[in-house]
Structure 1
Amino acid sequence: MHTTLASTRRPSLVREAGLSYFPIALVARLPFAMMVVGVLTLVVSARDSLALGGATSAMTGLGTAIVGPLLGAAADRWGQRRVLLIAGTANSVLLLALAWLAFAPVADGALLIAAFAIGASMPQVAPLSRSRLVGIISRTFRSGDRTRVVNGTMAYESAADEIVFVFGPVIVGLLATTLDPAAPVIGAAVLALVFVSAFALHPSAATGTAAGDAAGVPEQAPARELARPALLTTVLGTLGMGLFFGAMLTSLTAFMSERGAPEQAGLVYGAMGIGSAALALGVAFFPARFTLTARWLTFAAILVAGTLALPFVHSVAGITGSLLIIGIGIGPTLVSQYSLATARSPIGRSATVMTMLGSAVVVGQSAASAITGLVAESAGAQAALVLPIAAAGIVLAAGIANAVFARRP
């Protein structure tokens, strides 16, 4: 009787992954969300140089961009557990080292090298979580149900990213103002050591390894399959989203600074994140006939429309309203991009593809932050608020390119 019930019971992703998986995976993302802002805050406070702080923060993003996909490839090859334990431990040690180096009598170059190493060793929790959950879905769900469940999973993952990236900078600000400028970096080191290790040791980590042949070697498509144009359009799309995040947060900070309240930039930015997370979760209820390609085009157009008002806004209430509209476009666009990338991932390359997209976001965010900061410093906040429009345009252009490739067999 019990055996019959168990065999006919519909699979559940929560049951298959384990209830503890989701809070662990959520908190394990926080070090990544705190990293760029925390390093910037630490270096500016310790060395009293905004230029050095920006350069150090950019080096962190560069390290993640270059090495992140390699960590994903290593996870595809040798499994997530080993890669995450090594990367998480190394990252914690390097973060603590930077907290000491910032106040030590060492050359600025030492900070830049340490920052690059921090970015390079940053555990790719969000991409590997996506890969892990997709692995569970492919093993436990029937083929007819997989697309629906994958879309819902990508919706949850994008909402989780939004939550973390909204509250990460807030936590950095609270720790830096109430304790010490080094506190956010030290806090990120502790979180990485504890929760990334827990994420690595979770039983679900076994699903992050590709199925192997008789000799135990994982089955993998050739690396050249990663360069397929249809897949690269999703990478370009997430790069555009990263450019938008960096340009928007930096120009918003300049906007609030001109009004004497730079510390409130994170709170105003949160208006965008709340709407984005809510709509990202709502994607799971969209009808199947509203295709991923159509969703990308629709919500990228909303993103562009919301940004067009930014250069003409002169009040905090006005820019908050624009951010609420922009948030409607962000969540569903990211979900569509990750869902399409999942569907186009070559065999045995899921973690690599997810880290390619995650690294593209970091590259865009770091590059746009640096460029927007220069524009804001030389021409003011209103000029800087034009840059999010350009970034949103890249997202829409990538969506159009994706629509072209989607029509090809």
Structure 2
Amino acid sequence: MILFLASRPVTAPPVRPAAAARRAPRRRLPRFPRFRPLAPYRRLFSLPGTRAFTAANLLARLPMGMLSVSAVLMIAGTRGSYALAGAVTATGLAATALIGPLTARLVDRHGQARIAVPATALAVLGSLSLLLCVHYDAPTWTLFASYAATATTPNTGGMSRARWAHLFHDDPAALHTANSFEQAADELCFMLGPVLATLLCTGLFPEAGTAVAAAFLLTGVLLFASQRRTEPPVSPTPGSPSGPCGLSASPARSRSPLRLPGLPPLLLTFLFTGAVFGSLEVVTIAYADDHGVRSTAGAMLALQAAGSCAAGLLYGLLRPPHGPGRRSRRFRLCVGAMATLMPLPLLAARTGSLTALTCALLLAGMATAPTMVTGMGLIQSRTPAAQLNEGMTLAVTALLTGIAAGSAAGGWAVDHLSGPAPGLGLAYAVPAAAAALALTIALLTTRPTGTDA
């Protein structure tokens, strides 16, 4: 009997309908994917160390929008000469154009922390020397020498972009978002820096802006350099001898990025893009002054930078172009959009309405950040990883040179076009012409090259 019972199959007891209903899984309605516009940016900062180096770099980058304005206000406020202040800052700009790429080359060869800290310390000493020379009424030539010493300031934005390129070298979408964030950060620093410098120099004392900017720069670079786990590794040259302190003494690492195919036309486009920025600033200040509201010029330029910042963040949500042909095509489209929108301030200024001009500046600024993001992406794809800082610093140098040339051209237009209506409104033809030249160069020369990644 026991064997008979054991041989029978064991069956589960019948389940009551109520119990079965309780155990049956509920049918879920299909859920639509939620719109998460900030998801790409959250993904960037989910990596360990990215938040720390970004915060430190923003602190170090803020002085780039403060130093020149602080120097102008400090020198003009104590020496009573805007011409002298402009000459001193122009000398520093020229020195930066010469020294900046050399500093970036050292950063590429020996690492960010090893070069950026002493270079920043030398630049801070130059700022403090300028402050003391102005305060104690030193000879005029000391102002030029002191401000020229600040040219060793490392390209903090380029070093941050190099870290993103190292972290996301195999993820084009994330790298595109990171480049968009970096361009928006540049615009934010250029928007807040002059305002902060003006408040410090006019609210406290003339030297306050330079002192605070120097403190921000040194503190930010020290904090940024301490984040070693996100620092891109140095690619040593095989067989290169070592000099003092272990630094390579061989100058023949590789050819200059200026000799890379496709890079000089990009730099020329950046030059005319910088001319857009420089002329737009000078003409806007002069136009506001001509209408008796010079104090609002800063707010008008801040709105232009805000439009560019917002456009940069939104551009980072788009899919990056895949392939060298599409990258070059996207760049030409962005430069074309900038050239299309830049005549808007010219049309608005001729109406005599400051409200219309402010809105036109806001719209015109929305094309600059996508142009810069796409251009920087092309430079990254055409520059070897071991020379990335140098390549991006050359782009910044081209921008600074263009800004200086654009400022001079805008000032010339203001001096020669002042008078009855339309008067200064015609001076907005200078940034419009610079944008058109940038588009012409991009259309004629920007083509896919063998170095595009």
Query: TM (normalized to structure 1)?
Result: 0.88
SS of 2:386's equivalent in the other structure is coil
Change (3 A) 1:384 1:180: farther
Change (3 A) 1:150 1:12: closer
SS of 2:364's equivalent in the other structure is helix
Verify the 8 A CA contact 1:238 1:360 in the aligned structure 2: yes
What is the rounded CA distance, in whole Å, between the counterparts of 2:318 and 2:427 in structure 1?
Answer: 35
Correspondence for 1:184 = 209
Correspondence for 2:172 = 147
Verify the 8 A CA contact 1:91 1:121 in the aligned structure 2: yes
Correspondence for 1:299 = 334
Task: Give 1:340 shift.
Answer: 0.4
What is the rounded CA distance, in whole Å, between the counterparts of 1:208 and 1:28 in structure 2?
Answer: 21
Task: Give 1:161 shift.
Answer: 0.5
2:443 is the counterpart of 1:400: yes
Aligned length: 392
Task: Give 1:114 shift.
Answer: 1.7
- Which of the numbers 220, 224, 231 marks the counterpart of 1:206? 231
Task: Give 1:132 shift.
Answer: 2.0
Q: Normalized per residue, which structure has more helix?
A: 1
Task: Give 1:342 shift.
Answer: 0.3
Q: Which amino acid aligns with 1:349?
A: Q
Task: Give 1:398 shift.
Answer: 3.2
- 1:307-345 CA deviation, whole Å, 9 max, x = no partner? 223334122111112112212211110000000000011
Correspondence for 2:156 = 125
Correspondence for 1:159 = 184
Q: Which amino acid aligns with 1:245?
A: F
What is the rounded CA distance, in whole Å, between the counterparts of 2:144 and 2:427 in structure 1?
Answer: 26
Of the two, which has the highest radius of gyration? 2
- Which of the numbers 359, 383, 395 marks the counterpart of 1:357? 395
Task: Give 1:106 shift.
Answer: 2.9
Task: Give 1:84 shift.
Answer: 1.0
SS of 1:248's equivalent in the other structure is helix
Correspondence for 2:123 = 91
Correspondence for 1:370 = 408
Verify the 8 A CA contact 1:236 1:360 in the aligned structure 2: yes
Verify the 8 A CA contact 1:73 1:349 in the aligned structure 2: yes
Instruction: Structure 1: state its 5+ residue gaps.
Output: 1-10
Correspondence for 1:319 = 357
Change (3 A) 1:225 1:85: closer
Give the aligned CA root-mean-square deviation in angstroms. 2.5
Change (3 A) 1:121 1:408: closer
What is the rounded CA distance, in whole Å, between the counterparts of 1:356 and 1:14 in structure 2?
Answer: 31
2:304 is the counterpart of 1:261: no
- Which of the numbers 194, 204, 213 marks the counterpart of 2:219? 194
Change (3 A) 1:225 1:304: closer
Task: Give 1:271 shift.
Answer: 1.6
Correspondence for 1:71 = 103
What is the rounded CA distance, in whole Å, between the counterparts of 1:379 and 1:70 in structure 2?
Answer: 40
- Which of the numbers 323, 330, 335 marks the counterpart of 2:373? 335
SS of 1:105's equivalent in the other structure is coil
SS of 2:235's equivalent in the other structure is coil
Query: TM (normalized to structure 2)?
Result: 0.80
Verify the 8 A CA contact 2:286 2:414 in the aligned structure 1: yes
Instruction: Structure 2: state its 5+ residue gaps.
Output: 1-42, 243-247, 419-423
SS of 2:129's equivalent in the other structure is helix
Name which of structure 1's ranges 385-394 and 163-172 shifts more when overlaid on structure 2.
385-394
Correspondence for 1:7 = none
Greater relative contact order, per chain length (Cα 8 Å cut-off, separation 6+) = 1
Task: Give 1:384 shift.
Answer: 2.9
Correspondence for 2:302 = 270
Verify the 8 A CA contact 2:109 2:236 in the aligned structure 1: no
Name which of structure 1's ranges 381-390 and 147-156 shifts more when overlaid on structure 2.
381-390
Correspondence for 1:391 = 434
Task: Give 1:252 shift.
Answer: 0.6
Name which of structure 1's ranges 283-292 and 147-156 shifts more when overlaid on structure 2.
283-292
Verify the 8 A CA contact 1:54 1:370 in the aligned structure 2: no
Correspondence for 2:165 = 134
Name which of structure 1's ranges 331-340 and 373-382 shifts more when overlaid on structure 2.
373-382
Change (3 A) 1:126 1:12: closer
Q: Which amino acid aligns with 2:387?
A: R
Question: How many percent of aligned residue pairs carry the same amino acid?
Answer: 25
Q: Which amino acid aligns with 1:46?
A: T
Task: Give 1:211 shift.
Answer: 5.6
What is the rounded CA distance, in whole Å, between the counterparts of 1:268 and 1:38 in structure 2?
Answer: 19
SS of 1:207's equivalent in the other structure is coil
Verify the 8 A CA contact 2:413 2:430 in the aligned structure 1: no
- Which of the numbers 104, 107, 116 marks the counterpart of 2:136? 104
What is the rounded CA distance, in whole Å, between the counterparts of 2:137 and 2:304 in structure 1?
Answer: 41
What is the rounded CA distance, in whole Å, between the counterparts of 1:223 and 1:294 in structure 2?
Answer: 27
What is the rounded CA distance, in whole Å, between the counterparts of 2:240 and 2:380 in structure 1?
Answer: 27
Name which of structure 1's ranges 81-90 and 195-204 shifts more when overlaid on structure 2.
195-204
What is the rounded CA distance, in whole Å, between the counterparts of 1:231 and 1:405 in structure 2?
Answer: 11
Q: Which amino acid aligns with 2:368?
A: I
